Amino acid sequence: MNVDFRGRTKQILESMVEKGYANTQSEAARLAIVQFGEEHFNEAELVNKKLDRIDQDIEAGKRKILNADQALGEYAKHLK
């Protein structure tokens, strides 16, 4: 994939290379993308958001909590 950076984006990439954060503009772009991902897509944060949504669904009656026997259904007898 080829990307043409211009303006402020190009200046930032050039600065990252000049200051030694990266060897090339491509490497600088990768570093920036990884940093963005770590800040905005933290796995623990995403998991917590999903669990919060599940809790809200349970409270709203959109999801049902099952005990072990209900979850296993007809297979529960094989565990006893």
Residue 77 has pLDDT above 90, yes or no: no
In the block, residue with structure tokens 């990884």: 34
What is the pLDDT, as a whole number, of residue 80?
67
> Using CA atoms, how far apart are residues 25 and 39, in angstroms rounded to an integer?
21
At 50 the three-state DSSP class reads helix
Neighbours of 21 (CB within 10 A): 13
Name the pTM for this structure: 0.54
**What would the pLDDT profile of 6-54 be if each residue is shown by its tens digit?**
999 999 999 999 999 999 999 999 999 999 988 888 888 889 999 999 9
What is the pLDDT, as a whole number, of residue 42?
83
What is the pLDDT, as a whole number, of residue 21?
96
**What would the pLDDT profile of 26-35 be if each residue is shown by its tens digit?**
999 999 999 9
What are the structural domain ranges in the chain?
1-41, 42-80
